[in-house]
Each structure stands twice: as structure tokens, then as C-alpha cells.
């Protein structure tokens, strides 16, 4: 039986960088993935294909809005969706091949296609062959969570996976759930002319997003013709003759909506099926593999990271965790994860970026914070671009004066998130940010202007205090 220093199960944004980093340490590594191509769901069925499609839809919408900037187009813009899908496939293939080429340069790393399962706490079986290991990493990612809805239409409805392979743009699309996937895709298809409806059981869309930002996006979606129904309880999904009937209750009344297509976006759960974790003595629950803050499972030599644990589920966070894992496996002085500096971007319209904790999380923790915003309606760049909806918000810990969180609502929040990430990771205060000279006219000026606003407010409070004396 071959033995490895490390066996990694799953070649996504967690497993691939972990395997490569360990191999660069000179460790003998076996990376196993059932797809046989590195990249994971993020590359093949998640953030990368969705952004390729959204990018095309956004540029198509920009052409239609060119008249707002006094640009006259002689003919109506057309989009060739089948060509967009070919571009998507080419980018996915290029990225997967690039990762394979990088791995081939590491002589101590072996990559194989196969279904892996634990035989015991030091043995894994894949494709009928057993392999021994000193350490293992579970990085199997997540999968679609499908609640037990009634009706024959549930099995025929789309999930996010199906969207990226459909060559025809649907005339109607009903989304069940109003999280990130639904809102991004609903706005994308809306721009392409699809009649979109969103059903959400909560009181608003995007329940994990800053409430002010989420409500602004919700109103923007409605203004653009997307129907959003909240506080609904879904009863059944039936399909007959290529059309769906969705039955739900709202305000104690039963309603039925007809739609050409239905997309189920009801969340994600850890993908742990068939791993045989019990045989290895690895504890887990419905949230995923149970790990400590060093990402060790109940078996100290078996680690887990990425979407298969109960932590922020983002590709970049998984890669961050992978670095922590490899360090803790093979280097002295173990490190702990710090999710308080995590960042993410919602590619909605407008976009949302969140770094660190938001206002709601600060309240949950009982922190004494001040929350100060800069509104883009007064911003020169936003006015030039005619994109004035949005803000930058600092959540400041009063005890330390440190900016604990930054929320951005903007057409280009993704480009602003980098500075916000540095602010939070380096525990900066508004005075530190004010010391930077931001170029004009740009949206990143907002960081400096907001810091100036906070500084002037502090000066006025001090002046008022001296006046009272």
C-alpha cells in the first residue's frame, strides 16, 4: 500500500492550493477529485461561469442604456447567447488546464480522478485501491440544498448548475429563494428580457446582507420589473407540458404562479456523502465537518476546510483556510483562522461588498459601535457615471476606534473591496485612512471623504465639550 504525507479529497479552491503548497514543502501528496479536473464547483458551476454570463448581460444592458449618455445606436443591440456559452466553456477549460500544468511541475504531487472514502483514521480508498496517510484534508465543498417540496416539478426544476448549460434564454423564470444566487441571476436574466419572479419566505431578500443595502437592491430590482414576493410558504411545484405551476401561501391565502422555468436556489450544504467519516472517527453534523479554529477535526491529523465546514462559504475564504491548514500541518507555531477580516462581493446591481463585520453582527455581539456612512449621491464619480445609488459605511468599535467592518453598495463595489480589506485586516482607524491621498474623481475617494467626515465630527464633539467647560 502506497503511503503519503498528505491526502487531499477535493480539488476545488481549498484542496488544490493546499495540495500544491504541501508539495512545495517537499511533502508527498495525493490529490483526489471525482471530477478529475481541478477547480471545484466555483470554477465549473459557480462563481466563474456566472460572472462570464453576467458580464455579457451587463454589457448588453449598457448598450441599451447608451441613450442616457446621448449615444445613439443605429440598430437594436443583439446578444448571441450560444457564443457567450462558448466563451464560458473556453475560460473554464483554460483555467482547469492551467491548474493542471502548475501541478505537473510539482514532482511530489499526484493528482487522480476518483471517489474517495475513509477506510480508517489512516487509510483512504479510491477506485478500489487503498492509500495510507500521515495527514488528510477534507475539502469536498458544498452541494445544492433541496428542501422536500411536493410535486413532480421539483426534479425538473433548474438549480444553479443547469443555468450555465442552457443555450436558450427563457421567456419566464421563477426563482425559489432570494439569496445571492437568485438575486444575481434574476437581475442578469431581467437584463436579457426574461420575465423574472422571486419567491422568498423571509421578510426581505438577501437575509445575510446588510439590511440597508439589501432593501436598496430589492427596490432597484422591483423598479426594473422583477416581481418579488416575500413572506411566502411554498406548497408544491408541478410541471405539465413544459410549463410549471408553483403553489404557495402568502398572508394566509393560497396562490398559484405559472412559469416557463423554475430555478431552485434554496441554499447550500456540506458535501460529505459517501466519505465514510464514521470509519475515520471524524465528527460532523448538518453544518459540516466539526473543526477547531486551527481547522483540525476530531482527529487531530485530519483537517477540513472550504464549504464542507461551518464557516463563511466563499472560494477565496477556502483558499485562505487552505494556507492555514498547510501551515498547521507542517510548520511550527500553529495559526488560527480569523473570519473577522473576511471579505466578499455580491455581484448584484448595484454590487455589495462586505469586509469584516456588519452592523447587525456588531449588535449580535453586543459591541458598542458607531456607524457612519458616505452617500454616493454627493460623489463626483457617481454623478458622472449616473450611478448615484449607494454608500460606503464604516462600523467602528468605540472602545478601540478601529474600523471593524466596511459595507459598500455601489455599481463597482468589487473594485473598492480591496482597500476595505486592507483597512480591516490592518485594524486601521479613520485617521489612518484619512492619511492616504485618494485620486479624484474616483469612487475610492469615498474612503477618504468618509474618514474626513468622522474626523470633523470628532472635532466638533471636542469643541462642544470644551464649550461646556
More confident residue, 315 or 460: 315
pLDDT at 465 over 80: no
Mean pLDDT of the chain: 93
Grid coordinates belonging to 97 = 488546464
CB 322 within 8 A of CB 18: yes
Task: Work out the burial of residue 115: count CB atoms within 10 Å of its CB; fewer than 13 is exposed, 13-18 middle, 19 or more buried.
Answer: middle
301-330 pLDDT tens trace: 999 999 999 999 999 999 999 999 999 999
pLDDT at 461 over 90: no
pLDDT at 460: 79
392-425 pLDDT tens trace: 999 999 999 999 999 999 999 999 999 999 999 9
pLDDT at 466: 57
β-strand pairing of 369-375 with 391-397: antiparallel
Mean pLDDT of 87-111: 93
Of 20, 265, 26, 279, nearest in space to 139 by CA:
20
In the numeric block, the cell 475564504 is attached to 317
pLDDT at 59 over 70: yes
Instruction: Give CA–CA dist 17/464, Å, rounded.
Output: 55
Q: Domains of the chain (ranges plus CATH)?
A: 2-143+270-337 (3.50.50.60), 160-266 (3.50.50.60), 340-464 (3.30.390.30)
Alpha-helical segments (H) within 205-288:
211-223, 277-280
Mean pLDDT of 106-115: 96
Of 301, 346, 262, nearest in space to 120 by CA:
301
In the numeric block, the cell 500544491 is attached to 20
CA 43, chain centre distance (Å):
12
Instruction: Say whether 151 sits in a helix, a strand or coil.
Output: coil
Mean pLDDT of 343-360: 97
Which residues neighbour 226 within 8 Å (Cβ) at sequence distance 6 or greater? 186, 187, 190, 196, 197, 198
pTM (2 d.p.): 0.93
Torsion angle of alpha carbons 415, 416, 421, 426, nearest 10°?
Answer: 130
Instruction: Give CA–CA dist 312/195, Å, rounded.
Output: 32
Highest mean pLDDT, choosing among 35-44, 265-274, 288-297: 288-297
Give 464's pLDDT tier (boundaries 50, 70, 90): low
CA distances from 43 to 90, 132, 449 (A): 12, 29, 37
pLDDT at 340 over 90: yes
CB 359 within 8 A of CB 370: no
Which residues neighbour 298 within 8 Å (Cβ) at sequence distance 6 or greater? 281, 282, 283, 290
More confident residue, 308 or 46: 308
Which residues neighbour 84 within 8 Å (Cβ) at sequence distance 6 or greater? 52, 53, 56
Amino acid at each position: 500500500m502506497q503511503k503519503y504525507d498528505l491526502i487531499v479529497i477535493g480539488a476545488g479552491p481549498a484542496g488544490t492550493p493546499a495540495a500544491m503548497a504541501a508539495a512545495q514543502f517537499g511533502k508527498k501528496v495525493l490529490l483526489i477529485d471525482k471530477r478529475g479536473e481541478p477547480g471545484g464547483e466555483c470554477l465549473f458551476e459557480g462563481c466563474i461561469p456566472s460572472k462570464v454570463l453576467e458580464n455579457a448581460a451587463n454589457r448588453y444592458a449598457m448598450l441599451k442604456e447608451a441613450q442616457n449618455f446621448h449615444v445613439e445606436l443605429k440598430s437594436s443591440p443583439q446578444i448571441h447567447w450560444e457564443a457567450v456559452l462558448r466563451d464560458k466553456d473556453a475560460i473554464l477549460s483554460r483555467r482547469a488546464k492551467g491548474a493542471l500544468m502548475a501541478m505537473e511541475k510539482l514532482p511530489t504531487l499526484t493528482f487522480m480522478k476518483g471517489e474517495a472514502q475513509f477506510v480508517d483514521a489512516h487509510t483512504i480508498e479510491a477506485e478500489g485501491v487503498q492509500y495510507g496517510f500521515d495527514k488528510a484534508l477534507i475539502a469536498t465543498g458544498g452541494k445544492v440544498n433541496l428542501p422536500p417540496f411536493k410535486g413532480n416539478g421539483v426534479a425538473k426544476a433548474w438549480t444553479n448548475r443547469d443555468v450555465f448549460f442552457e443555450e436558450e434564454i427563457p421567456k419566464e423564470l421563477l426563482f425559489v429563494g432570494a439569496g445571492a444566487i437568485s438575486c444575481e441571476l434574476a437581475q442578469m436574466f431581467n437584463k436579457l428580457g426574461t420575465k423574472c419572479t422571486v419567491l422568498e419566505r423571509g421578510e426581505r431578500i438577501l437575509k445575510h446582507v446588510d439590511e440597508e443595502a439589501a432593501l436598496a437592491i430589492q427596490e432597484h430590482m422591483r423598479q426594473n420589473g422583477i416581481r418579488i414576493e416575500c413572506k411566502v410558504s411554498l406548497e408544491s411545484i408541478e410541471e405539465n407540458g413544459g410549463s410549471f405551476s408553483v403553489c404557495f401561501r402568502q398572508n394566509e391565502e393560497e396562490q398559484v404562479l405559472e412559469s416557463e422555468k423554475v430555478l431552485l436556489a434554496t441554499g447550500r450544504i456540506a458535501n460529505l456523502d459517501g466519505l465514510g467519516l464514521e470509519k475515520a472517527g471524524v465528527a460532523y453534523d448538518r453544518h459540516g465537518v466539526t473543526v477547531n479554529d486551527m481547522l483540525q477535526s476530531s482527529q487531530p491529523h485530519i483537517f477540513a476546510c472550504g464549504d464542507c465546514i461551518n464557516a463563511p462559504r466563499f472560494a477565496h475564504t477556502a483558499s485562505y483556510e487552505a494556507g492555514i491548514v498547510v501551515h498547521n500541518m507542517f510548520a511550527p507555531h500553529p495559526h488560527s483562522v480569523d473570519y473577522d477580516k473576511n471579505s466578499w462581493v455580491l455581484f448584484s446591481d448595484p454590487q455589495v461588498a462586505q469586509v469584516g463585520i456588519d452592523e447587525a453582527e456588531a449588535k449580535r455581539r453586543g459591541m458598542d459601535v458607531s456607524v457612519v456612512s458616505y452617500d454616493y449621491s454627493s460623489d463626483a464619480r457617481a454623478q458622472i457615471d449616473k450611478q448615484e445609488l449607494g454608500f460606503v459605511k464604516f462600523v467602528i468599535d468605540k472602545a478601540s476606534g478601529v474600523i471593524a467592518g466596511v459595507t459598500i453598495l455601489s455599481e463597482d463595489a468589487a473594485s473598492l473591496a480591496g482597500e476595505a480589506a486592507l483597512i480591516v485586516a490592518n485594524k486601521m482607524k479613520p485617521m489612518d485612512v484619512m492619511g492616504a491621498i485618494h485620486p479624484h474623481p474616483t469612487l475610492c475617494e469615498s474612503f477618504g471623504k468618509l474618514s474626513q467626515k468622522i474626523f470633523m465630527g470628532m472635532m466638533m464633539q471636542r469643541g462642544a465639550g470644551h464649550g461646556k467647560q
